[in-house]
A and B are shown apart, each in its own frame.
Chain A
Amino acid sequence: MRTLYLALKYLAVTLWSAFVIFPFLWMLSTSFKTQNAVTGGATWLPWVQYEPSLAGWKALFGGAGGVNIVKPYVNSLVVTGSASVIALVLGTLAAYGLSRFTFRAGPIRNGDITFFFISQRIMPPIVLAIPFFLMLRWLGLLDSLPGLILVYVAALMPIAVWVMVDFFNTIPRALDEMAWMDGCTPVTTFCRVILPNVLPGLVVAGMFCLIFGWNDFFFAFTLTFTQAQLLPVSIVALNSSVTPWWSLSAAAIVSVAPLAVLAFVVERFLSRGGLAGAVR
């Protein structure tokens, strides 16, 4: 009975893994195909079913009628990385404040402020496009990396606040007070006692920021022209009248790679027990 259960369990896991991994394998295979191999029916095995070609990969460096995505790639890393770090720092500080202090301004309370932050994400981005465009133009930051970083910080911070408020709320205030009594100022309390205990939250919020920032197309498209191009926009630029599935697949793989690597690296932080045992 137990063997059957195990067998079924592993079968289910295997099927699900195959389902998840299949698109990636298909992308990898397609990135080495030529036009003939793509249109000639489903094929899997290079050298056996089709002759592999590096054309798709060369296109990413500007060869074979492609677009050089190296600079946009670096731009995307810089913009997403810095915006996420800034949003995480500001968002975490704001969330700690919202979790620990009671704000009263007329009918407005902490919950309303938290909702105000997250309401930024409820609006369709198009609503923000024109104000952002005008503001960046006024600041002279249109089509520049600092301008994009600024916009992404504004777009990502609500996510960080939203995630972190909940994490801070799970930490009893008594822990802050105990740290005060043990000689910590509010700043050292935050850094040495509270932050280490919301590490899983920081990882979750950081991942959300990176994913949203890395995958954003809309702001990258509307607020840049030629100088500060980001990866999603240049991937679209790879497209032409004949869809180049091979180079798009190669681009998709390099685009997914950083997040996939990051997910593997931070996975262990997510599974840690976190707060168990703070207050009994």
Chain B
Amino acid sequence: MLRLQEIALAEAKVPHLAGITLDFRPVQMTTLLGRTGAGKTTLLRVIAGMAMPDKGRITLDGTDWSRLPPWKRPVAMVTQQSINYPHLSVLDNVAFPLTRAGVSREAARAQAEAMLVRVGLGAMTGRHPVALSGGQQQRVAIARALVKRAPVLLMDEPFVNLDYKLREGLREELAELLRKEAGTVAIYASTDPREALQMGDAIVLMAEGRALQSGRPRQVFAAPATLAVAAVVNDPPINLLPAEVSGGQLRLVSLGNEPIPGPDLPAGRYTLGLRAEDVRTGGDLPARVVLTEVSGSETVTHLEAGSQSLVMLERAVKTHNLGSRFGLHLDLSRALIFDAQGLRLTPEPAHG
């Protein structure tokens, strides 16, 4: 088990990591989900030894890594950009970490070749990285990371620069490859909530250098502990509706201030988080279409209802003309209620 305790790192007094304590177990893939600048890359670099934390401890199965230089840590990493050694052939690129670890040249090349076959580059072994396409170069980098069989495998948005089709394919390949590598702690950083929810057996939500929440992906998605988590984990973004309780009544401030049914709450300000899929057509809330995006078989529509912006997700291809108006139905029974500090108050909703 890879254990991080109170990892903190600041640069020019700006905190990049603020006291992160996490356990990563082998056999399961953990996804770090957070927006750009959340501290995901910094955390991976700290684990790899490329950045030294100001304080905190890293241990792998009880062995303290905190003072180990990167070349002594049994870590493999795949980064956003495909990094390969330009002067070496594809085969020698993949064999390189093995020969550095003392494996004989022949044995290293044999293992490298087997790994290249597994990532679908068996026919490219003699080429140099420059002669490969972007996706192939990234596969060389992945093969080089996997061939070491390092107990810790770090992946920092490894597919972000690739085209959609390739990304899907490689994601499946990687999951398949990792399934065969028992005992590996695999950490995958991503900015894409859908990818994170699909890929990880466990998920860690990060924002502003902090780990906000961790757990099973569906559980974190269904019951985000805070407003910040709900904002990061939902794609399309969750609708945030300002609300107020006064005189024992819950009212949506930006949507007419009519009392709506809700739990008994003390007087004060609240925020309702309503997922895009819980906004539907066919109600009596007048709204105007601002933007429509069709992605695959889904339609995401951005709307304006008075001063409130709303996002609606329909699991069908729809064409809503810009500026057109129709009535909306908000399924507020499924809304998450957050208090003024952003903590979730509603219990975990029964979510399909």
Whether the pair A185, B71 counts as a contact (CB closer than 8 A) is yes
With the chains together, A181 CA to B51 CA distance in Å?
13
Q: Report chain A residues within 8 Å CB of B96.
A: 182
- Is A275 part of the contact surface with B, judged by Cβ < 8 Å? yes
Q: Are A183 and B97 in contact (CB under 8 A)?
A: yes
**A179 vs B85: C-alpha distance when bound (angstroms):** 9
Count how many pairs of residues, one from A and one from B, have CB atoms less than 8 Å apart in the complex: 76
Q: Size band of the B side of the interface? A: 20 to 34
B1 at the interface (CB under 8 A from A): no
Task: Report chain A residues within 8 Å CB of B97.
Answer: 181-183
**How far is it, in angstroms, between the C-alpha of A181 and the C-alpha of B83 when the chains are bound?**
12
- B138 — which chain A residues lie within 8 A by C-beta? 280
Binds A, one of B5-13, B18-26, B72-80: B72-80
- Closest residue of chain B to A173 (Cβ to Cβ) is B50
Cβ contact within 8 Å between A276 and B71: no
A188 contacts across to B, CB distance below 8 A: 100
A175 at the interface (CB under 8 A from B): yes
A175–B86 CA distance with the chains assembled, in angstroms:
10
Set of chain A residues within 8 Å of B85, measured between Cβ atoms: 175, 178-179, 193, 197, 278
With A177-B70, A181-B76 as contacts: A279 and B83 at CB distance below 8 Å = yes
Q: A181-B75, A183-B100 are in contact. List 4 more A-B contacts (CB 8 A).
A: A175-B85, A178-B83, A277-B130, A278-B84
Q: B131: nearest residue on chain A (CB-CB)?
A: A277
Interface positions of B from 234 to 248, Cβ below 8 Å from A: none
A174 in complex: contacting residue of B83, B86, B144, CB < 8 Å: B83
> Per-residue 0/1 for A166-191: is the Cβ within 8 Å of any B Cβ (1 yes, 0 no)?
00000010110111111111001000
A203 CB → nearest B CB, Å: 14
- Give 7 pairs: A residue, B residue, CB < 8 Å, sorted on A: A177-B48, A180-B50, A181-B75, A185-B69, A193-B85, A277-B131, A280-B81
Best-surrounded residue of B49, B87, B144 (most CB of chain A within 10 A):
B87
Q: How far is the CA of A184 from the CA of B144 in the complex (A)?
A: 14
Q: Which residues of B contact A124 (CB under 8 A)?
A: none
Top 5 A-B residue pairs of the complex, sorted by shortest distance between their CB atoms: A277-B130, A183-B100, A182-B97, A180-B70, A196-B87
Q: How far is the CA of A35 from the CA of B36 in the complex (A)?
A: 81
Indicate with 1 or 0, residue by residue over B34-50, a CB within 8 angstroms of chain A CB atoms.
00000000000000111
Question: Which one of B49, B83, B144 lies within 8 Å of A278 (CB-CB)?
Answer: B83
Contact of B129 among A177, A182, A199, A277 (CB under 8 A): A277
Q: Decide yes or no whether A273 CB sits under 8 A from chain B.
A: yes
Q: How far does the alpha carbon of A274 sit from the alpha carbon of B128 in the complex, in Å?
A: 12
Known: A180-B70, A183-B71, A273-B130. A279 touches B100 (CB 8 A): no
* Chain A residue nearest in CB terms to B100: A183
Task: From known contacts A174-B81, A276-B130, A277-B86, infer whether A182 and B75 are also in contact, taking CB-CB under 8 Å.
Answer: no
Known: A174-B79, A175-B85, A277-B137. A181 touches B161 (CB 8 A): no
Q: In the complex the two chains form, what is the Cα distance from A181 to B144 in whole Å?
A: 11
For B262, what are the chain A residues with a Cβ–Cβ distance below 8 Å?
none
B101 contacts the other chain (Cβ, under 8 Å)?
A: yes
A133 to B65, CA, bound (A): 55
Residue of B nearest to A278 (CB): B86
Complex: how many Å from CA A274 to CA B86? Answer: 8
Is B82 in contact with chain A by the CB < 8 A criterion? Answer: yes
Are B81 and A183 interface neighbours, CB within 8 A?
no
CB distance from B227 to the nearest CB of A (A): 36
- Assess the A280–B70 pair: CB atoms within 8 A: no
A280 touches B161 (CB 8 A): yes
| Across-interface contacts of A273 in B (CB, < 8 A) | 130
Asked whether any CB of chain A lies closer than 8 Å to the CB of B183, the reply is no
> Is there contact, CB below 8 Å, between B81 and A279?
yes
Report the bound CA distance from A274 to B82 in whole Å: 17
Q: Chain A residues near B50 (CB, 8 Å)?
A: 177, 180-181
Which among B70, B73, B75 has the greatest number of chain A C-beta atoms within 10 A? B70
Interface residues of A in 139-168 (CB under 8 A from B): none
Instruction: Determine the chain B residues whose CB is within 8 A of the CB of A178 once the complex forms.
Output: 77, 79, 83, 85
